[in-house]
Amino acid sequence: MSPLLAYGFTFLTDMNTQKLSFKTQRLHLLALYQQLAELGVLHVLFSPTFASFQSELSAYFAKDPAEAYQLETVCDDFSMSRATLIRRLQRDGTNFRTVLSNVRMTHALSLMQEKRQTQLDLALQCGYQSESRFSQRFHQQFGMTPKQYMKTVVY
C-alpha cells in the first residue's frame, strides 16, 4: 500500500470528525477510487461480476487520463466496432465523452489531494489543453470550481 493510499483510507475513516459537507466527502471518496483504479486494484472493492462496460472503459482511461483518446483508437484497442462500443455504453446509460470526462475529473481530485498545483498544470495532466475548459468541466461535474475545491483540501 502506498503512503498516499494509506492517507486516503485514514482520511476517509476520520471524515466524520472533520465536519465536511456531503459533497466534499463524496469528492474525497471519488479521489480514493481514482487512486485505486490507477493502482489497478479498484476491482477489490467492486466485484468484477458486476463490472459494466463503462467500468472497463474507465479503467482503460485511468491508466493515462491525459492521453488524447480517440474513439476509433479505443474501438481498435477493445476489438470492437464504433457502433458496438457506442451501443454498449448506451446500455450503461452513458457515452464515450462522459466516461472520459468522469475519469479525468476524478484524476483531477486525486492530483489536488497530492499537492498544490496551478490550475493550468492540473488541466494539462488531466488531458485538457485549456485551463478555462478544465475549470468549466470541473464546475459542471462537482458544482464548484477547482479553486473552491482546493480550499477544502488539507495538506
Lowest-pLDDT range of 5-9, 74-78, 83-87, 92-96: 5-9
Cα–Cα nearest to 30, from 155, 141, 150, 146:
141
Residue 141: is its pLDDT beyond 80?
Answer: yes
Give whole-number Cα distances, 52 to 77, 98, 113, 114, in Å: 17, 15, 28, 29
Average pLDDT for residues 84-112, to the nearest whole number?
A: 93
Q: Is 118 helix (H, G, I), strand (E, B) or coil?
A: coil
Residue 47: is its pLDDT beyond 80?
Answer: no
CA–CA dist 99, 14 (Å, integer): 30
pLDDT for residue 49:
52
Average pLDDT for residues 87-92, to the nearest whole number?
A: 92
Arithmetic mean of pLDDT over the chain: 87
Q: Is 40 helix (H, G, I), strand (E, B) or coil?
A: coil
Residue 131: is its pLDDT beyond 90?
Answer: yes
First-residue to last-residue Cα distance in the chain = 20
pLDDT for residue 155:
61
Q: Which residue type sits at 32?
A: L
Q: What's phi and psi for 13, nearest 5 deg?
A: -70, -25
